[in-house]
Amino acid sequence: MAISINTLAELGLDTDTALGYTGGLERYISAIQRYYNNYEKNRSKVEEFYSAGDYENYMITVHALKSNSRMIGAMDMGKCFEDLEMASRNGDTGFIKAHHAEIVDAYTTLIERIRPVGEADAVVAADEISGEEARKVADELLTALDDFDDELATELAKKLTGYPFRPTQKELMKQVIDQIADFMYDEAADLVREVVPAIE
């Protein structure tokens, strides 16, 4: 199946916004496929935290789903997850109980809509690295920072940006590279440690 921007736009996705986040068609398709493949795990987590009344972890999960939905151009879905995030942040359990089921159903509907892309042959951008490799590079980067090896640290930080981070983590990685250039190794290491939990 050849997947074009028109194909993705026909699925009701905001392709302009998504391309701004992902930086190119290959990365965009890869992001949709990850979104699709993580559905079962993410839905299960949301349902588990909701059932347990664990609104702290519920908030963390719907926050990630908000960012991931926007990254693939599913802006309405992103807004729904944002509403759940804000309600959990504000302790508005009434809103969550009133809207949780319909929003999770909308999530399932979106997954069905993107299924043709999700189940197509996997697309990986040329400079994209896997979660396993990203964790290894992050460990090597922390060691390089500890050793004040700015040349190796810069090379590893650039390599780590090949992992398909959400926009928030992408921004942090840009700061890491800037801090290495300014010899701010401890600050760069702190940001790398902040980014690592986002690697799946």
Q: What is the pLDDT of residues 19-37, one digit of tens each?
A: 988 888 888 998 899 899 9
DSSP string, 68-121: HHHHTT-HHHHHHHHHHHHHHHTT-HHHHHHHHHHHHHHHHHHHHHHHHHHTSS
pLDDT at 164: 82
pLDDT of residue 32: 93
Place of tokens 């979104």: 35
- Please give the pLDDT value at position 107: 97
Q: How far apart are CA 162 and CA 94, in angstroms?
A: 41
* Cα R_g (the chain), whole angstroms: 18
List of residues 6+ apart from 114 with CB closer than 8 A: 11, 13, 32, 35, 36, 72
Query: Quick one: pLDDT at residue 1?
Result: 54
Residue with tokens 């972890």: 57
**How far from 72 is each of 60, 85, 135, 142, 174, CA to CA, in Å?**
19, 19, 24, 30, 21
Cβ atoms of 31 and 122 within 8 Å: the answer is no
Q: Is 124 helix (H, G, I), strand (E, B) or coil?
A: coil
For the chain, domains (ranges, CATH) are 5-118 (1.20.120), 131-198 (no CATH)
- Rounded distance between C-alpha atoms, residue 154 and residue 70, angstroms: 29
Distance from the Cα of residue 97 to its chain's centroid: 26
Which DSSP state fits 90? Answer: T
The closest of 121, 127, 110 to 2, measured between CA atoms, is 121
Return the closest-CA partner of residue 117 out of 27, 26, 40, 36: 36
The pLDDT value given to residue 126: 65
Question: What does the pLDDT read at residue 156?
Answer: 93
Residue 16 is predicted with a pLDDT of 93
Task: State both tokens at 105.
Answer: 């159903």
Q: What is the mean pLDDT of the chain?
A: 90
Q: Tell me how far apart the alpha carbons of residues 172 and 157 are, in angstroms, rounded to a whole number.
A: 11
Show the low-confidence residues of the chain (pLDDT under 50).
none
pTM: 0.73
Looking at residue 121, what is its pLDDT?
82
